[in-house]
Amino acid sequence: MIETPYLLFLGDAPDQLAAKVAQGIKDWRPEFALGQFRMEGCKAGMGLTDMDLAEAKAAGAKTLVIGVANRGGVISQAWKKVLVTALEEGFDLASGLHNLLRDEPDLVAVAEACGRQLHDVRIPSVKYPIANGVKRTGKRCLAVGTDCSVGKMYTALCMEREMLARGMKASFRATGQTGILITGDGVPLDAVIADFMAGSIEYLTPDNDADHWDLIEGQGSLFHVSYSGVTMALVHGGQPDALILCHEPTRAHMRGLPGYDLPSLQALRDTALPLARVANPTCEVVGISVNTQNMPEAEARAYLASLEAEMGLPATDPFRFGAEKLVDALAAI
């Protein structure tokens, strides 16, 4: 177990999206988020108290959580000095980056010398099976996006919160490092060996009560050429009964791919649903979740209303306006 509370390390994050790990912890486990540590040039902020290591230590923080992701998951040399000092000052470190803390000899040496722990939540902790495609009991909902980082995890977490408030049986199933750091369990899907991706999702969402819903955290996008294979494994390994379409309408191009336009929500629906029905012939698209954080409220509400008319599906920003519509749609299945 990772010791709490955390000091959230935002490093030299180039933008707010790069710090989505920290944002997720702050939003969903605020009691763990004691403060934030920012380096020169950091373009992200959590609205938490800025603390240096000594201040955070004095305030009771136990673990420095790397709350920022770099392309490729590299642990930059610019960060190294802070991480070494944190270990020396008595913090454990936790990270979801591809490049592991335990593969950095200097961090390992200092951690051993100081008796501190290095937590790499990126590493699969289980030997996953190859998917067998056998139909499982219980129900599953998967969020699929027009792009990466459009709010798939938040959609699932918002729906879980609303469902639990209604007394429904629901479990958020984490498939990325933020989700795992939030819930303490899950599959670090983008670090799983290719052949076992779909099997890892079958493992994550096993047989359950007939009225229980797994809310599976989506990853990537079927239209994002860097990560579409990961998304595909979720669509087939997850056997979803319900798909939620996720979108961020102000995005100028696919994240990290300047030459690629976002698909329409219609294109996402028409691509994802037939693929999902390979694994679950009764799958339906039940709603639309829009990340409207870059739109004024009136514009956001008008946009959602126009989507509902155009697509014939309930549409909301579950983080801003509540997940009721999406949960109503699930409850109707």
Interface residue list for a copy of itself (CB under 8 A): 71-73, 98, 129-135, 189-195, 197-199, 222-223, 225-233, 235-237, 254, 256-257, 259-260, 263, 271, 274-275, 278-279
The least distance separating a copy of itself from the CB of residue 146, rounded to whole angstroms, comes to: 12
CB atoms within 10 A of CB 30: 12
CB nearer to a copy of itself: pick between 1 and 134: 134
The least distance separating a copy of itself from the CB of residue 259, rounded to whole angstroms, comes to: 7
How many whole angstroms separate alpha carbon 221 and alpha carbon 219?
Answer: 7
The least distance separating a copy of itself from the CB of residue 94, rounded to whole angstroms, comes to: 20
CB nearer to a copy of itself: pick between 167 and 259: 259
How many whole angstroms separate alpha carbon 154 and alpha carbon 156?
Answer: 5
The least distance separating a copy of itself from the CB of residue 224, rounded to whole angstroms, comes to: 8
DSSP designation for 175: -
The per-residue DSSP string of 254-311 comes to STT-TT-PPPPHHHHHHHHHHHHHHH-TT-EEEEEEE--TTS-HHHHHHHHHHHHHHH
How many whole angstroms separate alpha carbon 216 and alpha carbon 157?
Answer: 9
CB nearer to a copy of itself: pick between 71 and 105: 71
Task: Give yes or no for a contact between 179 and 197, defined as CB atoms under 8 angstroms apart.
Answer: no
The least distance separating a copy of itself from the CB of residue 330, rounded to whole angstroms, comes to: 23
The phi, psi pair for 170, rounded to 5°, reads: -150, 145
CB nearer to a copy of itself: pick between 115 and 258: 258
CB nearer to a copy of itself: pick between 113 and 130: 130
> HSE (CB half, 13 Å, CA atoms) of 37?
23
The dihedral through the CA atoms of 38, 40, 44, 48 has a sign that is positive
The least distance separating a copy of itself from the CB of residue 98, rounded to whole angstroms, comes to: 7
Task: Give yes or no for a contact between 104 and 79, defined as CB atoms under 8 angstroms apart.
Answer: no
The least distance separating a copy of itself from the CB of residue 233, rounded to whole angstroms, comes to: 4
CB nearer to a copy of itself: pick between 283 and 329: 283
Report the candidate in 66, 84, 55 with the shortest Cα–Cα distance to residue 25.
Answer: 66
Furthest C-alpha separation in the chain: 62
CB nearer to a copy of itself: pick between 223 and 319: 223
